[in-house]
Amino acid sequence: MTDVIRFSAARTAAAIAAGELSALEATQAALDRIAKVDDRINAFLHVDVDGAVAAARDVDRRRAAGERLGPLAGVPLALKDVLTARGMPTTCGSRMLEGWKPPYDATVVSKLRAAGVVIIGKVNMDEFAMGSSTENSAYGPTRNPWDTDRIPGGSSGGSAAAVAAFETPISIGTDTGGSIRQPAAVCGLVGVKPTYGGVSRYGLVAFSSSLDQAGPLARTVTDAALLHAAIAGHDPLDTTSIELPVPGVVAAAASRDLRGVRIGVVRELSGDGYDIGVRARFSDALEVLVGLGAEVVEVSCPHFTYALPAYYLIAPSECSSNLARFDAMRFGLRIGDDGEAGAEEVMTRTRGAGFGAEVKRRIILGTYALSSGYYDAYYGQAQKVRTLISQDFAAAYERVDVLVSPTTPTVAFRLGEKIDDPVAMYLSDLCTIPSNLAGGPAMSLPIGLADGLPVGFQIMAPTFADDRLYQVGGALEAALDAARGHPFLDDAPAL
Ligand code: GLN
């Protein structure tokens, strides 16, 4: 079966369960594909051949013993290098952690292993998840499989590129301000940020603890739902994990009818600054939703305009505190420990050499915003804006079931295009940040091409109504696939 790499995760697992394909063959197909294309994509930082083969063999053994396998058993997966997995290095895309091997699995990883998912390796990212292009990685940029001169988005660029390049059918990313949805959008994938507290953060190296959330990237809405269901759920090891049942995302993904569903188009997330092609695809998708029976209305969320500045105070503030743990004493890199220098000097030298420019910029910004005398003016104000944004969402959800917008203002830009202009780079997350600030779930799914590049459609829902994303996303995807005559990713370059 030469096209195994093009199978969805659901189809791969079904073929394995039926005995038509072995987990080992699926794993080997992924490894061969990585060997063939990854020198052009640079998605993988570490390929765990032995671990993947052992996990695949275990699935095959369990099947042979007559065990009933789960819906993702034997499916290869790429893991963002910000989650710990025993036996593999965790770098967070930084020199600071080069060579560090964590002694434990993140809860997301334990759940994947329990589901029989085969973790192929660790994938590239912006350093400590700060960025929108994966150009901030200390290990070189990842490239967009649709056009290798362009960015794959970030910070989960490796997770998106691996799936779009058919290296693995699914991957895990993390989203603090858009880092699952934005790369999903520019690589033509489905990406979901679950409700904050819905997926455990234990073993997820913290960037901004009140915003970070791990979630699925996939080529179909159903695959994203299967992966979402596999990693979600309460975890006593994460005190911000919420003790509520996982929403019925898999069943919701099968929806094909949107009669009675009220959809709100966020007025503040459109207009100037959005590519013409992005706007055109967005309007087309709204028409498809109306055709499926949904009621589409415009909704105003006035404080969304302040989401970006509030985020760029809150996220750096939290990161300045979280990254203090990289002190040259406990993890990874240590520079200048010549027997003469004191601890503080070694710390200074190590942090100076180990962190890249963007990480330093954020630590400086955050330290300033939290300093006494400025705390109320910056961090305190940003927290108030955060409350106002949550109130905008609450008011909107009295009128509609979900909110929608383009995922990103533009399609994938060229490598290097925004690297010297941090503010232009920050604008990539204009539409995605409000959901992180308020905690609600959000999905991006592909709705077509503009200038030959993928355009993403964002769906947002109230907290713990993650199933609504899949209901609307599943119906929209099915209608678009039917109109096109084939799944979106069939149009991706062969590489
Ligand atoms: N691009 C945003 C930032 O640089 C979001 C990052 C993320 O979601 N991890 O902070």
Q: What pLDDT is attached to residue 97?
A: 96
Whether the predicted pLDDT of 288 surpasses 70: yes
Which residue has the least CA distance to atom 4 on ligand 1? 131
Q: What pLDDT is attached to residue 271?
A: 80
Whether the predicted pLDDT of 436 surpasses 80: yes
358 lines ligand 1 (CB under 6 A): no
**Residue 231 banded pLDDT, cuts 50, 70, 90:** very high
Contacts of 376 (CB under 8 A, 6+ apart): none
Mean pLDDT of 483-490: 96
Whether the predicted pLDDT of 1 surpasses 50: no
Mean pLDDT of 284-310: 98
Known catalytic membership, residue 155: yes
Using the mean position of ligand 1's atoms as its centre, give its distance from the Cα of residue 23 in Å.
34
Mean pLDDT of 74-90: 98
Q: What pLDDT is attached to residue 15?
A: 97
Please pick, among 155, 208, 241, 405, the residue that the annotation labels catalytic. Answer: 155
Ligand 1 pocket test, candidate residues 176, 205, 410, most atoms within 8 A of CB: 176
132 lines ligand 1 (CB under 6 A): yes
Mean pLDDT of 266-274: 90
Please pick, among 110, 159, 171, 179, the residue that the annotation labels catalytic. Answer: 179
User: What pLDDT, in 10s, does the model give residues 135-164?
Assistant: 999 999 999 999 999 999 999 999 999 999
Whether the predicted pLDDT of 254 surpasses 90: yes
Mean pLDDT of 384-407: 98
The predicted model scores a pTM of 0.98
Q: What pLDDT is attached to residue 2?
A: 57
Helix 466-484 × helix 221-231 angle, to 10°: 160
Q: Which of 183-187, 262-266, 267-271, 473-477 has the lowest mean pLDDT?
A: 267-271
Mean pLDDT of 208-235: 98
d(CA 60, CA 69): 10
Q: What pLDDT is attached to residue 405?
A: 98
Q: What pLDDT is attached to residue 270?
A: 85
Mean pLDDT of 173-179: 98
